Amino acid sequence: MLLRIPALLTRDEVRACRQAMEQAEWQDGRATAGHLAAGVKANLQLPIDSPLAAQLGDLILDKLGASPLFMAAALPLKVLPPRFNRYEGGGTYGNHIDNAFFTIPGTAIKVRTDVSTTVFFSDPDEYEGGELIVEDTYGQQSVKLPAGDAIVYPGTSLHRVNPVTRGTRGTRFASFFWTHSLVASAEQRRLLFDLDQQIQQLTARHPGDLALAALSGTYHNLLRMWSQA
């Protein structure tokens, strides 16, 4: 399931983050890539131990916690602190599947990469190329969203970032991170998400309907059955 979360960050928040990013020191993105991924990765990243990355990451995590769409889709148990990248001058990241686990820096806590998220910090008209291409059961999905929007998709997906060429500024800024979900199966998460959305719609249309309690109970019983917490 690919799910767009519009306006996760406000325009003012995006503007402040961008100003900080444009003044930051970046490093070769291959520093955090696995052996195979390093061969297809050509971008820049904020150092993982960067205070700026921690500050911006905390903002994103706060926003995610207040997003009903993200909470319903990801069913988060643990979230890896957000990382930040920039693509320019032909920068790209070829086809790859992310590592199954990452360790939270400075701890022994491992995060299983069930759900991938990208938050865009550049508007589509600021650069050419740079589409996030995700392979799913319906073929290739091309994603290039306004600054402040996020896209959520299964961490098991084959995906890539097309080369970024010229444009107004010619730079694609983004954040990326992974969520360890209560429910490991993408198919089960999709069923739970669909059921949750239908319950929300029915609650708005028929508040107080006794059938809603039964439907809600079914949702939570399925979550209890499939949860790996």
Q: Supply angle C-alpha 78, 82, 88, rounded to 5.
A: 150
**What single letter denotes the amino acid at residue 210?**
L
CA distance 78 to 229: 10
Tokens found for residue 206:
């028929």
Q: Which own/partner contact pairs does 10-16 have at CB distance under 8 Å and 24+ positions apart?
A: 10/148, 11/147, 11/148, 13/59, 13/148, 14/121, 14/147, 14/148
Look at residues 204, 177, 173 and name the one whose alpha carbon lies nearest to residue 76.
Answer: 177
The pLDDT value recorded for residue 39 is 81
The secondary structure of 133-168 as a DSSP string is EEEETTEEEEE---TT-EEEEETTS-EEEPPB--SS
What distance separates the 2 farthest-apart alpha carbons in the chain?
59
Cβ neighbours of residue 183 under 8 Å, at least 6 residues apart?
75, 114, 189, 192, 223, 226, 227, 228
CA distance 140 to 159: 9
Ordered mean pLDDT values, 10 residues apiece, the chain (229 residues):
97 98 93 72 94 98 97 98 96 94 94 98 95 89 97 96 80 97 97 97 91 95 94
* pTM across the whole model: 0.93
For the chain, domain boundaries: 3-181, 186-226
> Using CB atoms within 10 A of its CB, is residue 65 exposed (0-12), middle (13-18) or buried (19+)?
exposed
The pLDDT value recorded for residue 189 is 97
**Is residue 119 within 8 Å of 63, Cβ to Cβ?**
no
CA distance 160 to 140: 10
What's the CATH number for 3-181? 2.60.120.620
CATH 3.10.20.30 fits 186-226, yes or no: no
